[in-house]
Structure 1
Amino acid sequence: MSAARPDVVAFDVNETLLDLEPVRAALVELGQPAHLLPTVFGRTLQTGFAATVAGTWLPFRAAFESSLAQLTDLDDGDRGRVADAFLELSPHPDVEPVLRRLATAGVRVVTLSHGSPGVAEAGLERGGVTPLVERTLTSETVRTWKPSRAAYLWAAGACGVAPGRMALVAAHGWDVLGAERAGLTGAWFPRAERVYPPAYPAPAVVADDLAGAVEALLALPPA
């Protein structure tokens, strides 16, 4: 079935909407190299994905602190300080305009993260865009990590729409792939990744930037 203009657009949170710079700064303050963050973040995702595939579960913070323990010599207290920096994140500069664009177009907006509860809320509040987001969702509620199909189906159900009426916008190819496999419309743009992973089937939308991804979703034909 061809992709249609969505009734609800869900956004991934970490990196897609919120800048991880405060987490990088916390690592540097504790004597770690600035370039370590992508490795730690990637290991965090690997830890969470593996737990989901293996049939167990752990929260994002536990996976993040576990990754720090594997990759650094920081003690428990310092690992906790770095993890706390997620509550200091702010939106990237391009976020507010696209949220306002969707509001003007009458499209509902939510966030969908597997991050710790409170992180999305704090970042949206810091950026002054909370009124533009209907609700914040974390797959911790259903104890599974994206890109598990169950996470996206739960999100669609929580919003009261069929999967085909919801889109997922993310700067991570694995997230867009998971959303599309669950029946959502996927939209990818580069942030931390330079290109959409060529090993994956192409999603409905591949754009040059966040604004382009949103405009492409709005340009899809009605259902």
Structure 2
Amino acid sequence: MSRLRPEVVAFDVNETLLDLAPVRAALIDAGHPGELLRPVFGRTLLLGFAASMTGGWCRFRDAFDDALAQETDLDAHRRSAVADAFGELSPHPDVEPALRRLTEAGIRVVTLTHGSPGVAEAGLARGGISPLVERTLSSEDIRAWKPAREVYLWAAGACGVAPGRMALVAAHAWDVLGAQRAGLTGAWFSRGERTYPAVFDAPHVEAGDLPAAVDALLTLPAA
């Protein structure tokens, strides 16, 4: 099935738009190597995915705290200080021009995260790009985690478009897979993941960086 140029492009937040460097720095300040963030973040996702898939739910911050408790010897106070660093994130340098290119082309831009409400807003404001984003969506509002189908359908409904006219751009393959299974156009680009998993359905758009992913979406036929 051929894909159409989206009317709305939703962006994942953590890593895709916002640099996690402050969280990495907080781990270092707490006496742990910055490289530990990857397994902590991965365990956070595992906990959230498992809770969601089995009919439960937990907040991103609570899952992150639990992951820190399992991966480190930090006490609750120091774990909270590390988690607070999510409020200090800033956009990657390629984000502002990519979002501006979409808005100048008449495409609506939103963010879609299962992360804590306020993180995207703070990061966008810190980067001075809040005016480029129509709205920020957190699936905490519906107590679900991506890549559950319901999250993407909820986002499309919240934006008033059919799933087929919405795209999801993410640096996480699992997020793109979930969006595509829900009927959205998926666009994956390499930021932290080196390759797209062969065991997943191929992404509709695959690019080496964020600008190239945006350019590919803009070349899709309008109708």
Q: CA deviation at 1:77?
A: 0.4
The aligned counterpart of 2:100 is 100
Residue 50 of structure 1 aligns to a residue in which SS? helix
Q: CA deviation at 1:166?
A: 0.1
The aligned counterpart of 1:55 is 55
Aligned length: 223
Residues 1:12 and 2:12 are matched in the alignment: yes
Q: Which runs of 4+ in 1 moved over 2 A?
A: none
* AA matched with 1:151: V
The aligned counterpart of 2:183 is 183
Q: CA deviation at 1:192?
A: 0.9
**CA distance, structure 2, for counterparts of residue 28 and residue 85 of structure 1:** 12
**CA distance, structure 1, for counterparts of residue 110 and residue 51 of structure 2:** 26
In the alignment, structure 2 segments of 5+ residues that lack a partner are none
**CA distance, structure 2, for counterparts of residue 222 and residue 85 of structure 1:** 41
Q: Structure 1, residues 108-139: CA drift from partner, whole Å, max 9, x if none?
A: 00000000000000000000000000000011
Residue 215 of structure 2 aligns to a residue in which SS? helix
Q: CA deviation at 1:188?
A: 0.2
Residues 1:157 and 2:157 are matched in the alignment: yes
**CA distance, structure 1, for counterparts of residue 30 and residue 152 of structure 2:** 36
The aligned counterpart of 1:148 is 148
Residue 186 of structure 1 aligns to a residue in which SS? strand
* AA matched with 1:117: P
The aligned counterpart of 1:68 is 68
The aligned counterpart of 1:132 is 132
The aligned counterpart of 1:218 is 218
Residue 198 of structure 1 aligns to a residue in which SS? coil
Residue 168 of structure 1 aligns to a residue in which SS? strand
**CA distance, structure 1, for counterparts of residue 61 and residue 102 of structure 2:** 31
Over the aligned positions, Cα root-mean-square deviation in angstroms equals 0.5
The aligned counterpart of 1:24 is 24
**CA distance, structure 2, for counterparts of residue 28 and residue 80 of structure 1:** 14
Alignment identity in percent?
72
Residue 128 of structure 1 aligns to a residue in which SS? coil
Residue 31 of structure 2 aligns to a residue in which SS? coil
The aligned counterpart of 2:117 is 117
Residue 169 of structure 1 aligns to a residue in which SS? strand
Q: Structure 1, residues 10-61: CA drift from partner, whole Å, max 9, x if none?
A: 0000000000000000000010011100010000000000001111000100
